[in-house]
Amino acid sequence: MAGLPQPTSVEHRPLPKDYMMESVLATLFCCLLTGLIAIVYSHETRAALGRGDLAQAEVASRKARSLVLFSLLFGVFVSTSWVIYVVVALYLP
């Protein structure tokens, strides 16, 4: 088959994750403000994937992931601080 062109290899990247479930859980349990913004970016990721715009979907996915992580860390920090405050207030005269 000397006359046929060889097929070129195409790089297949996985689709970016939208982090919608994580965004909703972070909104409910950790931090309302950043969780809501993460939901907006999660929806933007889904919309970009629907349009076929993988570059915009990746950017929105990274923003959603960052906001989810920030919400989670902020929620853990606030909860830990509250527990420490209550323990100190109850057991110190």
DSSP letter (8 states) at residue 61: H
| pLDDT reading at 93 higher than 60 | yes
Residues 6+ apart with CB under 8 A from 61: 16, 17, 18, 19, 41, 45
| pLDDT reading at 92 higher than 80 | yes
Return the exposure string of 30-61: e unless at least 16 CB atoms fall within 10 Å of the residue's CB, then b: bbeebbebbbebbebbeebbeeeeeebbbbbb
pLDDT value of residue 12? 79
Tens of pLDDT, residue by residue over 42-90, are 999 999 999 999 999 999 999 999 999 999 999 999 999 999 999 999 9
Question: pTM of this prediction?
Answer: 0.81
Tens of pLDDT, residue by residue over 15-26, are 999 999 999 999
Asked if residue 68 lies in contact with residue 26, where contact means CB atoms within 8 angstroms, the answer is yes
